[in-house]
Structure 1
Amino acid sequence: TRKITSPDRDHRRFAYLNAGDLFMSDVMYGPAVRKNDGRKRKTYLIAFIDDATRVIPYAAFAHSENTAAFMEVLKQAVLRRGIPMRLFVDNGSAFRSQHLSLVCAKLGITLIHARPYHAAAKGKIERWFRTVRLQFLPMLSEKHMLNLKAINRALWTYIETEYHRSPHRSLCETPLDRWARVGEKVRYPEPGDDLDDLFLFESKRKVQKDRTVSLNGMAYEIDASLVGETVTLRYNPSEQGKEIKVCHNGRFVQKAKLVDTYANCFVKRDRPSKTIEALDPEKAVDHKRESRPKQPVTSADLRSRKGDGYV
């Protein structure tokens, strides 16, 4: 059922003056592209556009439109074109995630969500998607559908060599020329900023008695001192199986690896061993003699011991 927009609602065009004032983002359905198993899967084009210049900070096809895929494209956009003051996004689940809100807060980005059924507010990114459908997709051949790397390489070649260098109708100049004129205030990450660390996802887990925590169906080994404690796992979802960071009470504790059950067969445990050690022959006790039953004491024995001074 289509939502009918009220005709008396106030709709106004807007345009920011400086590059980096506002990035707008949305997702478009893309063509089917082969995965590692050789079968074709549908793709999603995740893109960002700078409101003032129409420059595309970054865009990429992915096999998913989830939060992990979106955050990877956002990270590349920040690395290439700086940190926007505002980020304008749709109301999809990927845009409503707590992780996106947390990363935006760390970067000092004001996160803005479009009103439901208000497509006109995202007109600039929707117009660019239309350009992609009309100009880029018809150029693709079978060699571009081999994998995501191939189609994304073709996409970025088109963006940098054609789209960015073609005069934009509403700007009366190319996106790159406009960026050169109004891009002096763009805020870029500091040299010491670790964006890879800042974009890591976080999940809380309780360390089990066998020193493990489970994440995305995989078991990771944790230090024995944290058994029974709740820890925070920091990880990149696109790098499943690699080391993850473990934090406890807000402090980094260790990097955890996947459990190697075979190697653990030969690892000395951290608790005292209960193995019975061999006795030293010189210190050994004659257990046969010690275990030999004693004869009962008679009254005659007591009288003889009395004479010997025992009683």
Structure 2
Amino acid sequence: MPIPSLEVRLRVLAAVDAAQGATVRERIKQVSQQSFTCHQSNHVFKFTWRTISTWVYRYKKDGITTLEKKTRADKNAQRKVQVSELAEALSEVLPSLSANKVGVVPKSTIYRVLLARNYFTRAQLAPTTFYRFVREHELLDLESTNKLRMAFAMLHANELWQGDTMHGPAIKQPDGKYKKTFLIAFIDDASRLITHAEFFYRDDTQNMINAFRTALYKRGKPERLYFDNGANYTAKEILQACVRLDIRLSHAPVRDGAAKGKIERFFRGFRDRFLVMHTEFSSLETLNQLAQAWVEDEYNSKLHSAIQMTPLDRFNLDYRRIQYLPNNEFTEEVFFIEEERKVSKVNVFSINSNKFECPVDLRGKTVQVRYDRSVRDRFIVYYKDQRMGDAMPLNLYLNAQLAREHKDD
């Protein structure tokens, strides 16, 4: 029997979320009666409730990365910090350090600098492990270090984006109170380009979606995303958008900042080189204007020591590979949440305690309804992945009038 693809498994999870039932167990039982067709192989799958329960548990515990049951790639290896990650950090730290009288930089000094600059914690990289890695892999040799660093980096722009959120400065409001801000940013792994960075007053799913949508329009579609396990980055809208755009989504291990080293190092530089230059900001709009100007002029357009060119120039080397999103209905609705609904015999379905009429005759069918959670003013009906159109609010009075006129005719 063929192995179900990741897309099929995500659709099963989405079906559980949208199913009727007072408990998760009831919803899983209901979904176990459904069939799911793989769009690539056209194979029809049905899954037992125990299988679906396992997927739901794994996803809630550790995220989408655990849907694929496989042997760890790092089995029998040191798991907290990989050699390639250490090589990446050393390539940035070593040029800033001076040799002693005998012409070497003490390894103990290098280790303390790595901890002080928040590349790793002592729990992630013990001194004995650091010394062993340096000795076995000749990490203080620039050529060896660069080879390992390049093995860790992606080869092309938009192969992988890292994304994360940073606490920003508080802004004084008209009522005299201060309001926290949050910076949501995305970095391209190969070029180190910041594809988009924006401050918001709330660290929530809707703002995450707004920032990610802007990044996609500005820099094109990445092949992979690497996020942490925060609620914003594991939201249903993000999962569904990645399936629709054919983007592979994975999540960093819990409390493992080193796994997102590039975006974390950008945040550190952003604090040290931008935020320290400003005592306060008059408004969120002003903060974003200044921050985005700094990102484009002082970061994306300046020489980056790790790649020995500007991030923008490195990103543009792969311009033929960039896939920009078309400006059409599909793109507009990519981040809409989707729920399945059963259409009644009179071509009506219910959602959010309201009744709507399907745009075409879909009586007795199970349809997918997409809508913007933050607005909920439009409900678009899809059937078998085909867009059917906008649903109309049920108007019993108008329907009765039309029926009467038809009868009179």
After superposition, the Cα gap between the structure-2 partners of 1:187 and 1:227, relative to the gap in structure 1 and judged at 3 Å, is closer
Q: Determine the structure 1 residue equivalent to 2:283.
A: 146
The equivalent residue for 2:357 is 223
Q: Quick check: 1:196 aligned with 2:332? A: yes
- Equivalences, count: 257
2:323 matched to 1:184? Answer: no
The structure in which a higher percent of residues are helix is 2
> 1:199-236: CA deviations, max 9, x gaps?
21223568999x89564xxx655239999997644222
**2:261 is paired with a residue of what secondary structure?**
helix
CA displacement, residues 23-50 of structure 1 (integer Å, 9 cap, x when unaligned): 1111111223478999643222111000
Paired with 1:254 and 1:37, the residues of 2 have a C-alpha distance of 45
Secondary structure, counterpart of 1:198 in structure 2: coil
Please identify, of 106-115 and 44-53, the stretch whose mean Cα deviation from structure 2 is larger.
106-115
Pair 1:129-2:267 in alignment: yes
Aligned CA-pair RMSD: 3.8
Equivalent position SS for 2:295: helix
Give the TM-score normalised by the residue count of structure 1: 0.67
Q: Does 1:65 align with 2:199?
A: no
Larger deviation, residues 13-22 vs 186-195? 186-195
Q: Name the structure where strand makes up a greater proportion of residues.
A: 1
**What is the rounded CA distance, in whole Å, between the counterparts of 2:171 and 2:398 in structure 1?**
45
The equivalent residue for 2:184 is: 46
Q: CA offsets, 1:249-300, max 9 Å, x none? A: 76656545789xxxx8996855989xxxxxxxxxxxxxxxxxxxxxxxxxxx
Q: What's 1:101 paired with?
A: 239
Structure 1 residues 74 and 229, CA, compared in 2 at 3 Å: closer, same or farther?
A: same
Distance between the aligned counterparts of 1:167 and 1:7, measured in 2? 35
Q: SS at the partner of 1:116?
A: coil
Q: Distance in 2 between matches of 1:41 and 1:207?
A: 45
1:129 Cα deviation after fit: 0.6
> Given that residues 357 and 392 in structure 2 are in contact (C-alpha distance below 8 angstroms), is that contact kept between their aligned partners in structure 1?
no
User: Who is 2:212 aligned against?
Assistant: 74
The alpha carbon displacement at 1:165 in A equals 1.5
Asked whether the equivalents of residues 205 and 213 of structure 1 are also in contact (C-alpha less than 8 Å), the reply is: yes
Larger Rg: 1
2:356–2:393: 8 Å Cα contact kept in structure 1?
no
1:51 shift after superposition = 0.6
Structure 1 regions of 5+ residues with no counterpart? 1-5, 274-311
User: Does the residue aligned with 1:52 lie in a helix, a strand or coil?
Assistant: coil
With over 3 angstroms needed to count, the CA separation of the structure-2 counterparts of 1:163 and 1:251, relative to structure 1, is: closer
Equivalence for 1:244? 379
- Counting aligned pairs with the same residue, the percent is 33
Q: State the 1:96 CA deviation.
A: 2.1
SS of equivalent residue, structure 1 residue 20: coil
Name the stretch that deviates more: 72-81 or 36-45: 36-45
> Which 10-residue stretch deviates more, 63-72 or 46-55?
63-72
Asked if 2 retains the 8 angstrom alpha-carbon contact of 1:207 and 1:222, the reply is: no
